[in-house]
Amino acid sequence: MAAAGRIVAGPSLAEAAVTPRTTFNRTLAPGPPNALGYSQIVAGPGEIRTVRTDLGIAAQPGRVTRRVGLQAFVQFSDMHVVDDQSPARVEWVDRYETPGLFSSSYRPQEMLSAQVADAMVQAVNAQKRGPVTKLPFSFTIETGDNSDNCQFNEVRWYIDVLDGGTIRPDSGSTLAYEGVMDNNALYYDVHYWHPHPTPAGKQPDQYKTDHGFPTVAGLLNASRRPFTAAGLDIPWYSVFGNHDGLVQGNFPHTMQLSTMAVGPLKVISPPAGVSDTDVKEAVENLDPLSLVGDLVVSPYVRAVTPDPNRRSLTRKQTVEEHFTTTGLPVGHGFTATNRADGTAYYYFDEGSIRHVVMDSVNPNGYADGSLDPAQFTWLKATIEAATGKAVIVYSHHTSGTMSNPFVLTGGDPALPRVLGDEVVSYLLTQSHVIAWVNGHTHVNRITAHQRPGGAGGFWEINTASHIDYPQQARVIEVADNLDGTWSIITTIIDHAGPPSYAGVLNNTLALASLSRELAANDPQNNLAASTGTPLDRNTELLVDNPLA
């Protein structure tokens, strides 16, 4: 027995026999660092499963041999498929000390986001079924921030990667990379990693000098090459995230921001005189363009090839794109009502479980979320109508990050936003709700929400992103233990990229492997926080039988 409420379990023979895509069989982690702290990824032993009884529900002996699997599915989260050359991106503010406002506006691995998504798809296709129940996967659900900057091309890349087919993760010029990371001496900025050799007369960038990042000649062109995406073998569903609905995940759509996205000028470095205070005020005022003033070609702003496919999409337009698909179900959960009304919440029933998808994005601005009152009314009616079914709810935001009450000036004060604590309080009144699955924070974390005054409640399952280390997804299985309890079994799965890319740049799995390595060395990434603890990864979560 481990700490109170938690039991550590080793692998069964059946579990040990599955493909080593899951971290139950093999883990990946940074190896010994070089003199500047840069580490390559190495393989290690699998991680045992932790049985959690935090809700006061005991783990009965014998349940492993008598349990009956009910459902197995996969959670993707925060793919952030990025157009890393887009003029609408603001990589240059990443250097300012504005925690939580523009954090990770720039990542050294961001040119490989589409390849990582494909490698995750390949891992799921290879795994095929739950490692414990052995049930085939019923579906995959992506809990938001599917795109990075709510652009048409990013949304199409994300949909087409999950559907399968030819993807060209490139924009603007088809002849040359036009972003912040090339070795163009006129716009060379040491605050970015430049994978190509340092241009003559320039100092190596800070990623190389301070963090030991390598030179990987040819990477930028390799990242732009078309590839054939495998496509998921199973149905997939989409959840709306703040990066899917807001420019840079923070700002409401405006004509000026949309014009910048499709236009011919990209800011590479900060205009002279911009300070931390200026950046903070621009975010608070929802006016990022105030930082750059009139855009003209200069030592800070480069000319790029305009591209109409970089146009910003509204929520209604993004929902509509999910109906142009070769995958199933058509619309990927979004309904005719969503198409007509421009909403992004829905539910679907699968076996004995109702899956309820919320739209937690606050369209008024800022990264964190909340619900509008009409949606909260719908949520309660949908859950309470699920007679004879267990319920799992989904959102992009966690309960703790549904903390954004902001309503634009002129909004109706009689319609305040509904925050996470109110949603948690309501869910605890519904005994058939067993889990809330979400993303946004880019970390692996599982939280027990126990019902006041007694045993029972639900589990909040938060899973790390595909854009940041550890670039993982989560398998979720639900089983009836036939003793008055159910188990929610979670298993972390790595994408299909090998531990080392071994200098190979000509296939998506090798490029995804390099992305994982770069992400592990990103100086902004808190590896311990993002990977979580063993209590947040491979687990068995006990709940009362919600149908009893």
The tens digit of pLDDT for each residue in 371-392 reads 999 999 999 999 999 999 999 9
Give the pair of three-digit tokens for residue 2.
């481990």
In angstroms, the CA 157 to CA 529 distance is: 29
β-pair type (6-9, 49-52): antiparallel
Q: What mean pLDDT comes out for the span 517-528?
A: 95
Phi-psi bin for 505: left (phi > 0), alpha (psi -120 to 50), beta? alpha
Q: What mean pLDDT comes out for the span 129-153?
A: 97
What are the pLDDT digits (tens) for 298-332?
889 999 999 999 999 999 999 999 999 999 999 99
Confidence of residue 221 (pLDDT cuts 50, 70, 90): very high
**Cis, bond preceding 470 (omega within 30 deg of 0):** yes
What are the pLDDT digits (tens) for 395-426?
999 999 999 999 986 666 667 999 999 999 99
285: how many CB neighbours lie within 10 A of its CB? 10
In angstroms, the CA 474 to CA 492 distance is: 5
Q: What DSSP designation does 311 have?
A: -
480: how many CB neighbours lie within 10 A of its CB? 19
| 61-70 CB burial, b ≥16 within 10 A, e <16 | eebbeebebb
Q: How many CA atoms lie within 13 A of 437 on its CB side?
A: 29
What does pTM read for this prediction? 0.94
In angstroms, the CA 370 to CA 372 distance is: 7
Torsion of CA 525, 27, 442, 332, to 10 degrees: 140
Q: Is 252 exposed, middle or buried (0-12, 13-18, 19+ CB in 10 A)?
A: middle
- Show the beta-strand stretches assigned E in 125-264: 140-142, 165-167, 227-229, 236-238
Q: Given this model, what pLDDT does residue 463 score?
A: 98
Torsion of CA 178, 180, 186, 189, to 10 degrees: -170
Contact (CB, 8 A) for 496 and 125: no
Q: What mean pLDDT comes out for the span 248-271?
A: 87
Asked whether the predicted pLDDT for residue 341 surpasses 60, the reply is yes
Q: Given this model, what pLDDT does residue 276 score?
A: 80
Helices 113-127 & 152-163, crossing angle to 10 degrees? 20
In angstroms, the CA 57 to CA 86 distance is: 50
Asked whether the predicted pLDDT for residue 495 surpasses 80, the reply is yes
Asked whether the predicted pLDDT for residue 286 surpasses 60, the reply is yes
Asked whether the predicted pLDDT for residue 1 surpasses 50, the reply is no
User: In the chain, pLDDT over 70 holds for what percent of residues?
Assistant: 93
Give the pair of three-digit tokens for residue 163.
């559907």
The CATH superfamily assigned to 6-185+220-295+307-544 is Metallo-dependent phosphatases (3.60.21.10)
Asked whether the predicted pLDDT for residue 394 surpasses 80, the reply is yes
Q: Given this model, what pLDDT does residue 103 score?
A: 61
Q: Given this model, what pLDDT does residue 265 score?
A: 95
Q: Given this model, what pLDDT does residue 6 score?
A: 52
**SS3 assignment, position 210:** helix
* All residues at 6 or more sequence positions from 287 whose CB lies less than 8 Å from its CB, including other chains: none
Q: Given this model, what pLDDT does residue 414 score?
A: 60
Contact (CB, 8 A) for 266 and 184: no
17: how many CB neighbours lie within 10 A of its CB? 10
Q: What DSSP designation does 390 have?
A: E
CA 343 to chain centre: 21
* All residues at 6 or more sequence positions from 277 whose CB lies less than 8 Å from its CB, including other chains: none
Average pLDDT over the chain reads 92
In angstroms, the CA 21 to CA 43 distance is: 12
Q: Given this model, what pLDDT does residue 278 score?
A: 83
What is the helix, strand, coil percentage profile of the chain, to 5? 25, 20, 55
Q: Given this model, what pLDDT does residue 544 score?
A: 97
Asked whether the predicted pLDDT for residue 289 surpasses 90, the reply is no
Confidence of residue 114 (pLDDT cuts 50, 70, 90): very high
Contact (CB, 8 A) for 363 and 245: yes
Q: Which amino acid type is present at position 504?
A: V
Asked whether the predicted pLDDT for residue 15 surpasses 50, the reply is no
Q: Given this model, what pLDDT does residue 97 score?
A: 64
Specify the range with the lowest mean pLDDT, choosing from 11-25, 289-303, 507-521.
Answer: 11-25
What are the pLDDT digits (tens) for 44-101?
999 999 999 999 999 999 999 999 999 999 999 999 999 999 999 989 888 886 655 5
DSSP per position, 84-144: TT-TT--GGGGGS--TTTSTTS--TTGGGHHHHHHHHHHHHHHH-B-TTT-PBP--EEE-S
**SS3 assignment, position 283:** helix
Contact (CB, 8 A) for 149 and 82: yes
Phi-psi bin for 173: left (phi > 0), alpha (psi -120 to 50), beta? beta
Torsion of CA 442, 372, 159, 217, to 10 degrees: -40
In angstroms, the CA 285 to CA 279 distance is: 10
What are the pLDDT digits (tens) for 165-178?
999 999 999 999 99
- Show the beta-strand stretches assigned E in 230-329: 236-238, 265-267, 301-303
Q: Largest Cα–Cα distance in the chain?
A: 73
Q: Given this model, what pLDDT does residue 4 score?
A: 41
| 311-343 CB burial, b ≥16 within 10 A, e <16 | bbbebeebbbbbeebebeeebbbbbeebeeeeb
Pick from 143, 95, 374, 373: nearest CA to 244: 143
CA 511 to chain centre: 19
382: how many CB neighbours lie within 10 A of its CB? 18
CA 43 to chain centre: 23
